[in-house]
Amino acid sequence: MRATISFETDVDQVEGTMAVVACSEEHNLRAAADILSNYTVLDGSLLDAITEVLRLLDMSSTQLHQYRSMLISFEKAKYETISPQPAPVENVVNMQDKLEAIKKFGDFVERMNSGEETETPNETVEPA
């Protein structure tokens, strides 16, 4: 079973954090090396031993490839310029309506605070 872990860290700590995570693969690599270095014909099936070594190496290789990809993406992001994105047209159009509603509400509150009667009692103010 696999899981994805997401967390935040300061930019200057990314490489150190990734180093700690990458170094955690040492146990799989050592276990694979230990199987090969300590194997004797009396231990049992060579096929089983090689299969386990390959499984451990594959797990570590997959993780290390992912860590490398993450670091490459991070390095690219540090040096790429983020271009401003155009505002969606509907937001610009709706902004005028929202500003008008806010102005009406402000006028309403101002009249209420000054104690004036409203000229149009049925006037409603739409929320922004």
Instruction: Give how far Cα 27 sits from Cα of 7, 57, 58, 66, Å.
Output: 23, 11, 13, 17
Please name the residue that has the structure tokens 């969606």. 88
Chunk the chain into consecutive blocks of 10 residues (it has 128) and report each block's average pLDDT, rounded to whole numbers. Answer: 79 89 94 89 81 95 94 85 70 74 85 69 57
CA distance 92 to 86: 10
pLDDT at 32: 95
pLDDT at 66: 93
